[in-house]
Structure 1
Amino acid sequence: MASDTGRVLDTLMLPFDEGLLEWPTDGALFLRASHGVALHRRPGLVCEQGFRPDADTLEAAGFAVTGHDPARRYAIVLVLPPRQRDEARALFANAIARTAPGGRVIACVANNAGARSAESDLAAVAGPVSHLGKHKCRVFWTAPLDGPADAALAQAWAELDAPRTIEDGRFVSRPGVFAWARIDAASRLLAAHLPVGLAGDAADLGAGFGYLSAELLERCPGIGTLDVIEAEARALELARLNLERYATRAELRFHWLDATRGLPGRYDVIVSNPPFHAQGRADRPDLGRRFIEVAAESLQPRGRLWLVANRHLPYESALASGFAQVRTVAQEGGFKVIEGVRA
């Protein structure tokens, strides 16, 4: 049975497969690209993807993912809109801006992920669209474009992705980043229990826009270096902005990488609120378990992991195998804060 991504990509290519649209000879741009077999039938594809695991997969398959000219315009711009609507609208505005005169934007969304709403949004900013349905997905595409149908709306939507302040100005964030408009309760609970005596070389695993990194530096004066590790480039950019004020307080290093593949250093302290959903909505406890495993591999002897997780997630076996001491520090609001001490 085809994967969800495979079904979306097969449907995305349906207008070309059925001869309704012609694939351009000089290539096409794919925003928020994901890898699948369907891509290999289309030469000259230029991919952009800010989520490091997907970018790594595309690069391993032979697609160039970084270093493209943002001023280049394309006859075809493909889009996989994200679930968050403001982020998706900003992506549509960007797609139209990257389209050459007479070019088209083509997008695809699974039916249960808001396909009709996404189609309506593209039509609102680009004008009439055509669509096809297959594999429980919907592909929809514009008529030949010469800019947006509604220039004011396109400008307003483009600005939806701009960083903006939250938490009374303490942080900047943007739509689509995890818990983008607030500090999520799990991270806040972990921060409240960080002991002031944590010291040495530290890492924030899955740092998001930098909240836990900031709290660690605020609460623990003994932290001398901090590796800020995040797979989503849009979030890491925010973390850089949010942690600028601590640049003289500790040595900060920012890493755009997939933490499940290993960490760049050895640490005395690791803090983490691990993801448990990847890019979809289904629970992925394997991600959290892998975060725990790489933390154990990367901590110095007697190094300490401070972790928060949903209470129902089964992390106990990974903690028991990786750490000599494990204790539950707090349980509140459906979350648990755990400390693990390396042997």
Structure 2
Amino acid sequence: MSARSDPALEVLLLPFVQGALAWPQRGGALFLRAREGWPLHQRAWPGLVAEQSYKPEADALQRSGIEVNASHDGGARHALVLALPPRQREEARALLAHALARCAPGGRVVACAANDEGAKSAQADLARIAGPVASLSKHHCRVFWTAPLDAPADPDLARQWREADAPRPVVAGPGGLRFLSRPGVFAWDRIDAASALLAERLPQDLAGRAADLGAGWGYLGHALLTRCPGIVALDLYEAERRALELAERNLAGFAARVELGFRWHDVAAGLPERYDVVVSNPPFHAQGRAARPELGRRFIAVAAQALRPGGRLWLVANRHLPYEAELAAGFASVRAVAERDGFKVIEAVKEGGR
């Protein structure tokens, strides 16, 4: 059980703890974007099933004994649907509309968000598609819930919001390429400047079996396979399943030439394979806004462990991030290749190579 502070999770369950709402005795409860934390273990929550597409959170929930689905399981409906909407507005709207679709007749939707992460907007959005909602506030968070529902108050708008989460060609790449993306994944509507810089600098002589750590919707993997004909296999590791599904579609054109693997995986846990090449634009945030430079340091350590002797890591990072110690510990040679727009590209080579 996690003891970390999670005010939104605590406040989400507050109406049930205080008795303002009754937990359903039948019909089950579905928790969308569930997170592990002590509020889930302060009492029994009969029939609770979680959905979480972010691998570290899904693993934490399973370790605590909670049943987890990685993604939407189709038509199953529940007497109660809980949700923790994300910050990104379109993604949050899609989640609330999906919550309504998963709510059984006579059931309720209950959602919570931090005040500085769009609580007021999320409450207004739920009211637009579900009708009047009640709410309470605590710990700078707001929990809000519907009346018992038989159908959305505005079914057309709810459908539009659900459909907005569908993969669609929104990102324009070099040479007129169009990549599929969706709201909420990292750099969902653009090619981020760091990845673009690394893609430009990848040398054409990279060869063998490769891995992309934190692959997102697949831009770096696509660039690697386009520029480097010597790559014979590529595994894409990504913690967010919603992004990995996009990567699989965006790289489908290479499947006839290269062995492709799409791994829903927490890179921080280590890799199961060995590689000749690793590319990465490592995250320095998890799901929150706080900087997490230890994530990037862990990605570097994992890359060093996974590379064969002489293997090469090509990395891009914010220029100010302190990765030098991890690079020096894991690699025989490290060189700065380029700097631009506040980012740095680094090549690091494992001992036993050139």
Unmatched 5+ stretches in structure 2:
none
Match of 2:117 among 107, 110, 113: 113
- Residues 69, 196 of structure 1: alpha-carbon distance in 2 compared, 3 angstrom cutoff: closer
Question: Could you give the per-residue CA deviations for residues 176-222 of structure 1, whole angstroms, max 9, x where no partner exists?
Answer: 01000010000000000000000000000000000000000000000
Per the alignment, residue 30 of structure 2 pairs with 29
Alignment of 1:141-156 (within 5 A): 141-156=145-160
SS class of match (2:112):
strand
Match of 2:294 among 279, 282, 286: 286
CA apart distance, 1:70:
2.6
SS class of match (2:149):
coil
Q: Are 2:178 and 1:170 aligned?
A: yes
Q: Are 2:241 and 1:233 aligned?
A: yes
The TM-score, its normalising length taken from structure 1, stands at 0.97
Alignment of 1:1-343 (within 5 A): 3-5=4-6, 7-26=7-26, 27-40=28-41, 41=43, 42-66=45-69, 69-165=73-169, 166-167=171-172, 168-343=176-351
Q: Equivalents in 1 of 2:304, 2:283: separation in Å? A: 17
User: What is the number of residues matched between the two proteins?
Assistant: 341
Question: Could you give the per-residue CA deviations for residues 40-85 of structure 1, whole angstroms, max 9, x where no partner exists?
Answer: 2222210000000000000000111127853221111000000110
Q: Equivalents in 1 of 2:76, 2:188: separation in Å? A: 30
Q: Which amino acid aligns with 2:163?
A: E
SS class of match (1:340):
strand
SS class of match (2:308):
strand
Q: Equivalents in 2 of 1:234, 1:69: separation in Å? A: 14
SS class of match (2:11):
helix
CA RMSD of aligned residues (A): 1.2
Q: Equivalents in 1 of 2:233, 2:67: separation in Å? A: 33
SS class of match (1:296):
helix
Q: Equivalents in 2 of 1:227, 1:281: separation in Å? A: 28
SS class of match (1:65):
strand
Q: Which amino acid aligns with 1:30?
A: F
CA apart distance, 1:264:
2.1
Q: Which amino acid aligns with 2:16?
A: F
The TM-score, its normalising length taken from structure 2, stands at 0.94
Q: Equivalents in 2 of 1:16, 1:229: separation in Å? A: 38
Q: Equivalents in 1 of 2:198, 2:11: separation in Å? A: 42
Question: Could you give the per-residue CA deviations for residues 210-259 of structure 1, whole angstroms, max 9, x where no partner exists?
Answer: 00000000000000010011000000000010000000121001100100
CA apart distance, 1:17:
1.1
